[in-house]
Amino acid sequence: MTQTDLSWVRTELAQPMPAPPGERGLVAWVRKNLFASVGDTILTLVGLVLVAMILPPIIDWAFIQAQWTGPDRTVCATVAQGGTQPDGWSGACWSFVNAKFGQFMLGRYPLEERWRPILVGILFVALLAPLLIPRVPHKGLNAVLFFLVLPIVAFVLLVGGMFGLPHVETPLWGGLLVTLTLSFVGIVVSLPLGILLALGRRSKMPVVKMICIVFIETIRGIPLITVLFMASVMLPLFLPAGVTFDKFLRALIGVSLFAAAYMAEVVRGGLQAIPKGQYEGADSLGLSYWQKMYFIVLPQALKLVIPGIVNTFIGMFKDTSLVYIISMFDLLAIVRQNFSDASWASPQTPASGLIFAAVVFWLFCFGMSRYSMFMERRLDTGYKR
């Protein structure tokens, strides 16, 4: 009997074939991502028209036609407006920003004392940068320096009046200095205060709970402007006669309390997401309330709500611009104030100044949100509920 071996087994693996030409390369990408269907093509065309309408004028205005240097408004105004530019010219007036840069950063801080806020700024960056980079060691010492020592040093340097430094009154402060001081103090105060309020709101003691709920809900229900109004006009009435305190400090209190109420709600969300077993486990170990919260619950809860906390920070950073309403000069307000400077007033000045302020705010906020995303990924232990 002859056996015909009909079966055939391939001994080596077949090599994968290259993708068909229509599925790779730029053409395929364009076809898949821009022209997948009739509707898609229409959308792409609409998008292209939109980009073509918006982008070239912006680039032209901000870079090509822009004036980067110049002594006064004449470089940013057309002949008809009393300047040197040809009629019909329209471009950004970066020379305005250039000339006012010192004011935008530090306000009316006396010129010969400006090294002080600049030194504080350098210290701030020098201490913040290693704190943010996870690989740098000595985090504990760094945090102590940043959150405890820096504020004291900064206070001495900025306010002065001791160690031979002349006193600089807060109404002279301005620009980015005010924006950053308000947000830094707001962040440092509102997080612990918010955690306390959130714990209070979750407390089993009805009186404490009531106080916290009323505080949080009232503050959250009203605009920041109202809180600032309260801080600036009502607070002086609440204090005994003769006791006054600085307007800057009042704004700080208003902003911090406002942010604390929002922070409390964010932290409460984190506390609620921790399973009951964790609380009970801590209780069964015989931990006291504060030990339970500090060692077991809060580390988990805060990690869960990092995005929310950073969102509140970003919101607060943006909201510091509202101190303009109670006539303090943060970055936005000082830009706004300089529109009316007669030697720079031109139709291009407001937009240029505002775009500069927008870029500064944007860099800070965008940086914060990106960093929080990075931290979220780093702290992610993989235990997803």
Partner 1 sequence: MASQEVLREEPTRGSLINDPRVRSIFIQVVAALALILFIWWIVGNTIDNLQRLRIASGFAFLKGRAGFDIADSAIAYSSDSTYGRAILVGLINTAIVALAGIVTATIIGFMVGIGRLSNNWLIRKICTVYVEVFRNIPPLLVIFFWYFGVLSVLPLPRDSIELPFGSYVNSRGFYFPRAVWGEGAWLILLAFLLGIAMSWFVARKARQRQMATGQQFPVFWTSVALIVGLPLLAYVASGFPLSFDLPKKSTFNLTGGFQVKPEFLSLYLALSFYTAAFIAEIVRAGVRGVSRGQTEAAGALGLRSGPILRLVVVPQAMRIVIPPLTSQYLNLTKNSSLAIAIGYPDLTAIAGTVLNQTGQAIEPVLIMMAVYLGLSLLTSAIMNVVNAKMALVER
Of 19, 27, 50, 379, which one interacts with partner 1 (CB under 8 A)?
50
Of 229, 274, 337, 375, which one interacts with partner 1 (CB under 8 A)?
229
Binding mask 167-206 for partner 1 (x = CB under 8 A): -------------------------------------xxx
Pick between residue 151 and residue 315 the one whose CB is nearest to partner 1: 315
Q: What residue has token string 């949080």?
A: 216
Of 127, 131, 208, 375, which one interacts with partner 1 (CB under 8 A)?
208
Return the amino acid letter for 61: W
Pick between residue 155 and residue 362 the one whose CB is nearest to partner 1: 362
CB-based contact 307:376 (threshold 8 Å)? yes
Least gap, CB of 296 to partner 1 (angstroms) = 18
Q: Is 48 in the site for partner 1 (CB under 8 A)?
A: yes
Q: Which two tokens stand for residue 272?
A: 């609620």
How far are the Cα atoms of 21, 149, 251, 318 from residue 310, in angstroms, in the given order?
46, 23, 21, 12
Pick between residue 143 and residue 285 the one whose CB is nearest to partner 1: 285
Pick between residue 35 and residue 124 the one whose CB is nearest to partner 1: 35
Of 146, 184, 248, 324, which one interacts with partner 1 (CB under 8 A)?
324
Annotate 284-333 with DSSP letters as a single string.
HTT--HHHIIIIIIHHHHHHHTHHHHHHHHHHHHHHGGGGGGGT--BHHH
Q: Is 240 in the site for partner 1 (CB under 8 A)?
A: yes
Least gap, CB of 185 to partner 1 (angstroms) = 18
Element containing residue 353 per DSSP (H, E): helix 349-379
CB-based contact 262:220 (threshold 8 Å)? yes
How far are the Cα atoms of 31, 47, 347 from residue 42, in angstroms, in the given order?
13, 9, 38
Element containing residue 249 per DSSP (H, E): helix 247-273
Pick between residue 67 and residue 116 the one whose CB is nearest to partner 1: 67
Angle subtended by helix axes 306-319 and 349-379, to nearest 10: 160
Return the amino acid letter for 301: A
Least gap, CB of 144 to partner 1 (angstroms) = 30
Contact region with partner 1 (CB under 8 A), list: 20-28, 115-123, 217-225, 272-280: 217-225
Q: Which two tokens stand for residue 193?
A: 């205060």
Q: Is 279 in the site for partner 1 (CB under 8 A)?
A: no
Cα separation, 75 vs 78, whole angstroms: 8
Pick between residue 134 and residue 367 the one whose CB is nearest to partner 1: 367
Query: How far from chain centre, in Å, is Cα 317?
Result: 5
Contact region with partner 1 (CB under 8 A), list: 29-37, 66-74, 114-122, 138-146: 29-37
* Torsion angle of the four alpha carbons 272, 273, 278, 280, in this order, in degrees rounded to the nearest 10: 30
Contact region with partner 1 (CB under 8 A), list: 7-15, 166-174, 184-192, 352-360: 352-360
- Total residues in contact with partner 1, by rule CB under 8 A: 55
Please give the residues from 81 up to 140 whose contact with partner 1 meets the rule CB under 8 A.
none
CB-based contact 102:114 (threshold 8 Å)? yes
Of 62, 127, 131, 230, which one interacts with partner 1 (CB under 8 A)?
230
Cα separation, 42 vs 19, whole angstroms: 28
Least gap, CB of 211 to partner 1 (angstroms) = 6
Residues that bind partner 1 (CB under 8 A): 33-34, 36, 40, 43-44, 47-48, 50-51, 204-208, 211, 218, 221-226, 229-230, 233-234, 236-241, 314, 318-319, 321-322, 324-325, 332, 336, 339, 347, 350-351, 354-355, 357-358, 361-362, 365-366, 369
